[in-house]
A and B are shown apart, each in its own frame.
Chain A
Amino acid sequence: SQQGEEDPQALSIQEGENATMNCSYKTSINNLQWYRQNSGRGLVHLILIRSNEREKHSGRLRVTLDTSKKSSSLLITASRAADTASYFCATDAETSGSRLTFGEGTQLTVNP
């Protein structure tokens, strides 16, 4: 089964609100990454958090990692209409040889 599973599948919010997406995985990891995909395009790397890190920030993004629960969350603060996209978590499992496994993604819609 897929290594990364995301929740919710879809999220619709108003501009200015915060958006939180969650990711769960099954095996031990070296790191976990979040990517963004605009409709029909390639993915863009947002942030990487290592297995020995608990929280990381980048601009309006905050990522947390709980290895005991095998879960991660991505928080986008003060969302904008331009944040509308699909967001994927990807895990670099310890046994993967640095090949990423992607989750199913969360479709975020930010309404103006």
Chain B
Amino acid sequence: EADIYQTPRYLVIGTGKKITLECSQTMGHDKMYWYQQDPGMELHLIHYSYGVNSTEKGDLSSESTVSRIRTEHFPLTLESARPSHTSQYLCASSEWGLGIRYGYTFGSGTRLTVV
């Protein structure tokens, strides 16, 4: 049973709006990640965090920003949404340790449409 939650599940907004996608996990994982995925395509890492006050940009350049003030919370913000931001955003977490032992736990995703 996944203990990582993303809200909202679906979001349709107008161009220029500021949005925040929420991601929370109850497993106490130090590592958290945001991936972007277009329908039927691969996942691209856009942000990650190894713990509180630690955030890094991923492999795919993104105009979004993230914060990690609490271990369990890793929100993603778009200051001014554009149609090119339309995509699915997936949040994940994993345990710290000697590499990854158990894999990532993913949330159900937020499907964002910017009109």
Contact = CB atoms under 8 A, between A and B. Distances in A.
Contacts of B48: 99
Interface residues of B, number: 29
A104 B104 CA distance: 17
A42 B43 CA distance: 11
Contacts of B109: 40-42
Interface stretch (A12-20, A43-51, A62-70, A74-82): A43-51
Contacts of B35: 102
A59 B106 CA distance: 22
Contacts of B42: 2, 88, 102-105
B81 interface: no
A31 interface: yes
Given A40-B109, A92-B99, A99 B43 contact: no
B7 interface: no
Interface residues of A, number: 25
Interface in A94-109: 98-105, 107
A48 B103 contact: yes
B108 A31 contact: no
Contacts of B105: 45
Given A44-B106, A92-B100, 15 more contacts: A30-B99, A31-B100, A33-B100, A40-B88, A40-B109, A42-B90, A42-B107, A42-B108, A44-B2, A88-B42, A98-B99, A99-B33, A99-B48, A102-B42, A102-B43
The 5 residue pairs across chains A and B that have the minimum distance between CB atoms: A45-B103, A42-B106, A102-B43, A104-B42, A43-B106
25 contacts: A2-B42, A33-B100, A33-B103, A33-B104, A35-B103, A35-B104, A35-B106, A40-B88, A40-B111, A42-B2, A42-B90, A42-B108, A43-B92, A45-B105, A45-B106, A48-B103, A92-B99, A92-B100, A99-B58, A100-B33, A100-B45, A102-B35, A102-B42, A103-B42, A105-B42
